[in-house]
Amino acid sequence: MAYKSPGMGYADVANHFRTRIKSGELAPGETLPTVTEIREQFDVAAKTVSRALGMLKTEGLVTSRGSLGTVVAKSPIVITGSDRLNRMARNGLRYAPGETSTGHRVMQRSTYDAEVCKALDLEPGDEVIIRIRVFQQDGKPTSVGLSVYPPHTVAKVPELADDVRMTRQFDELYAERTGQEVVKGQKLGHARQASQDELDALDIDAPSHSAVAVFVTTVTFHDDERPLAYWEDVYAPGSRVPIPD
């Protein structure tokens, strides 16, 4: 379907394709429409298309392949776990093309992590359910996803404690069963030293005496009364992670 709007600018055109790449609708290696097709689709000038494609190339999302035209870059941006919820709501895709997850583990543990306790309003030593998985793109690890759930969330969504992949997201199940909306809090990012477990999961071979910095994003989910979940994503060095304005 044509997408036309009066006064469409190059940033709008770029955002259209950026969104499709982030959502997984355009796979790495897939060819974008030609300049002529984009001009007709958006009713814009050739210069506008050129600037839009230039912006996407600068961001590392697309690359020129000569006679093949412009294609989605082989190593596109890596989205956060919370953004996966947005993608699933948009098009139902759990994974982008070429993306998989491995190393799924589910554990019941006592938590003493100060950040987790603060985010979930827990006391040190309280038990939680922890779910861990490693995301890969074309067989290469890109991030480690960790989600932590307090007992009151697990009571409503007991599937979280099962050592199997869930077929539906916890926020949908919780809202369906309680009638309360699940709200995603502010996503935060910071850098820190990777743990050995994280280095192993990301296939990073580093000397034991060296420090490897990784970028980490965190987000907490809530209902009207209390926090429900704490999610953390740890990205492999060199990953390109979109940061919201």
Distance of CA 148 to the CA centre of its chain: 17
The reported pLDDT for the residue numbered 138 is: 80
- The answer to whether residues 94 and 84 touch, using CB atoms and an 8 Å cutoff, is yes
Structure tokens of 20?
A: 């499709």
- What pLDDT, in 10s, does the model give residues 119-172? 999 999 999 999 999 999 888 899 999 999 999 999 999 999 999 988 889 999
Q: Is the pLDDT of residue 240 over 90?
A: no
Most confident range, picked from 64-73, 87-96, 193-202: 193-202
Q: Which residue has the higher pLDDT, 238 or 215?
A: 215
Q: Going along the chain, which residue ranges are E strands?
A: 62-64, 70-72, 99-110, 127-137, 140-149, 183-184, 188-193, 213-222, 227-235
Structural domains of the chain, with CATH: 10-72 (1.10.10.10), 81-235 (3.40.1410.10)
